[in-house]
Structure 1
Amino acid sequence: MRFVVRSSANSGISGTVLVAVLAAFGALLLLAPTSSAGGGGPSADSLQLATGGPAPGNAATILTVQGTASRSASYDGAVARFSVRVLRDSILAAVSDGNSAVASIAAAVDARCTAAAMSDADGSTTDACVSPRGLQTLGIRIEEEFDYTDQGRISEGFLYENRLSIAIEGTEFAGGLVDLVIGAGGDSVRFEGLGFTTSQRAEIERLALLDAIDSARLTARTIADHMGYQIVRIVEVNPRESYQVELDSGRGEAIPAAAAPAPTRVFAGQAVITSRVSLTFELRPR
């Protein structure tokens, strides 16, 4: 928390007002709301108080308060990132075998991931893979690999690498998606990570920003009332960049199907989206 008092030489602010400012700082520590990481409660975590130059009547006083608030949202989608890596003696063999592995994964995705969610008789959604756009190529790399020994540089062959991703709706099939990709691609697959997404991010971010504004305004009113001031107007509103706490399953090497017979279980959890805002107010004595 920051609390800074600045006054100009001609502002006419007396030592009594300075004492009142310091007293307001103590009151702020007791009265300012706080925010928990996942509870969604707003807080004001920074403020500044400064007196401006001479003006008709009473000198203007500027108060800057920063508010922070968080809201939670359930994940409703997942994105898997993986690559197909094949090392062969010739470039043609590397490309051929690599493309075959990618084709096997694409066929499995086409067969398993439907265009729309399937529902049971009771209306509940089945454990289906729903991918509106299917596979997406992120990049392809083909190059010769070398090993450096005491005898010099030795060619190890040609490496084919095809980086891919697939986004699905819902989180129920996230673990099944891991098994599907590894099962179809075999030892050539390197699974690079599974991340979760929420389609509600923009709305949750907006609500968190409104909470942060309310927090800053409440803190400004508390300070002004305690010091015997009134809020004249809002001078500046400066929203800060929001951020999201995300869950990522990490990175891993290829897992042969025979070595991992048990299905992969994945737990999505929730996203915590935090918004920040800085409000500057003009105050005048009552």
Structure 2
Amino acid sequence: MRFVVRSSANSGISGTVLAAVLAAFGALLLLAPTSSAGGGGPSADSLQLATGGPAPGNAATILTVQGTASRSASYDGAVARFSVRVLRDSILAAVSDGNSAVASIAAAVDARCTAAAMSDADGSTTDACVSPRGLQTLGIRIEEEFDYTDQGRISEGFLYENRLSIAIEGTEFAGGLVDLVIRAGGDSVRFEGLGFTTSQRAEIERLALLDAIDSARLTARTIADHMGYQIVRIVEVNPRESYQVELDSGRGEAIPAAAAPAPTRVFAGQAVITSRVSLTFELRPR
């Protein structure tokens, strides 16, 4: 939590006095509770946004407070990112073998995944692979690879690289998706990461922002009361960029199917979304 107090020359309170008061009050701020968004209607001293400057003859003290709050949301989707890399002596061989590996992965996805959820006979969809968009091409690169030695540049062959991704609904099949891609692509696959997503991000971000506003308002009231001031109005509201804690499986080298017979297990957990806001208040002595 960070706050700034600015006082005009005619306010009767010097910057040194204000700094001393705020320093003495720092421990209390750390213990101040945070109210939650949506927890009832506004109180009698709820703040309203106003415009215009202070009334003539009354010097205003400006207080800026930052509020931060976090909310959690369960992941309900996953995205796998991988590439097919093939190095061959000729460009035609590299392209042909690379395209064959990609075709094998595409066939496995088509055979296992559906564009919409389909329930089993017992109504269960736990092991379903639901991918509305299917495979997505992120980029294709074909170029000659070189090794630089004391004797100069030596050609190692031609590299075919096809970067792909696939998004699925739900997280239950995330481990199965890893296995599907690696087994279908074989040694040519480089699995670059498995990330989780939440369709509730916008709503959770909004609720976290409301919590952050409540936190900043409570802190401002506490400071004003302790200093013998009253809050006149909110001068400025400045939401900061929200951020999300991401869970990613990292990067890994190709794993042949024979070397990885056990199914891959993943644990999605939850997304933690944090919102921040800066509120500026006008204060006057009581």
| TM-score, normalised relative to structure 2 | 0.88
Q: CA deviation at 1:71?
A: 0.2
39-48 vs 69-78, which deviates more? 39-48
Deviations 1:118-166, CA, capped at 9 Å, x for gaps:
2244433230110000000000000011112232211111100000000
Tell me the distance in 1 between the aligned counterparts of 2:271 and 2:41: 15
Gaps of 5+ in 1: none
3-12 vs 79-88, which deviates more? 3-12
With over 3 angstroms needed to count, the CA separation of the structure-2 counterparts of 1:221 and 1:130, relative to structure 1, is: same
Tell me the distance in 1 between the aligned counterparts of 2:264 and 2:157: 33
Question: 3-state SS of the aligned residue for 2:175?
Answer: helix
24-33 vs 92-101, which deviates more? 24-33
Residue identity (%): 99
Q: CA deviation at 1:26?
A: 4.3
Number of aligned residue pairs: give it.
Answer: 286
Q: CA deviation at 1:37?
A: 17
Conserved 8 A contact 1:42-1:70: no
Q: CA deviation at 1:27?
A: 6.3
Question: 3-state SS of the aligned residue for 1:45?
Answer: coil
With over 3 angstroms needed to count, the CA separation of the structure-2 counterparts of 1:18 and 1:241, relative to structure 1, is: closer
Aligned-pair RMSD on alpha carbons?
4.8
Conserved 8 A contact 2:6-2:61: no
Residue equivalent to 2:194:
194
Q: CA deviation at 1:58?
A: 3.5
With over 3 angstroms needed to count, the CA separation of the structure-2 counterparts of 1:40 and 1:112, relative to structure 1, is: farther
Question: Which structure has the higher relative contact order (CA within 8 Å, separation 6+)?
Answer: 2
15-24 vs 87-96, which deviates more? 15-24
Q: CA deviation at 1:107?
A: 0.6
Conserved 8 A contact 1:212-1:277: yes
Q: CA deviation at 1:28?
A: 3.9
With over 3 angstroms needed to count, the CA separation of the structure-2 counterparts of 1:151 and 1:221, relative to structure 1, is: same
Q: CA deviation at 1:206?
A: 0.2
Conserved 8 A contact 1:117-1:126: no
Conserved 8 A contact 2:77-2:168: yes
Question: 3-state SS of the aligned residue for 1:35?
Answer: coil
Question: 3-state SS of the aligned residue for 2:49?
Answer: strand
Tell me the distance in 1 between the aligned counterparts of 2:218 and 2:26: 16
Q: CA deviation at 1:54?
A: 9.1
With over 3 angstroms needed to count, the CA separation of the structure-2 counterparts of 1:230 and 1:132, relative to structure 1, is: same
Gaps of 5+ in 2: none
Question: 3-state SS of the aligned residue for 2:178?
Answer: helix
Conserved 8 A contact 1:70-1:208: yes
Q: CA deviation at 1:21?
A: 3.4
Residue equivalent to 1:71:
71
Residue equivalent to 2:150:
150
Question: 3-state SS of the aligned residue for 1:48?
Answer: coil
With over 3 angstroms needed to count, the CA separation of the structure-2 counterparts of 1:5 and 1:218, relative to structure 1, is: closer
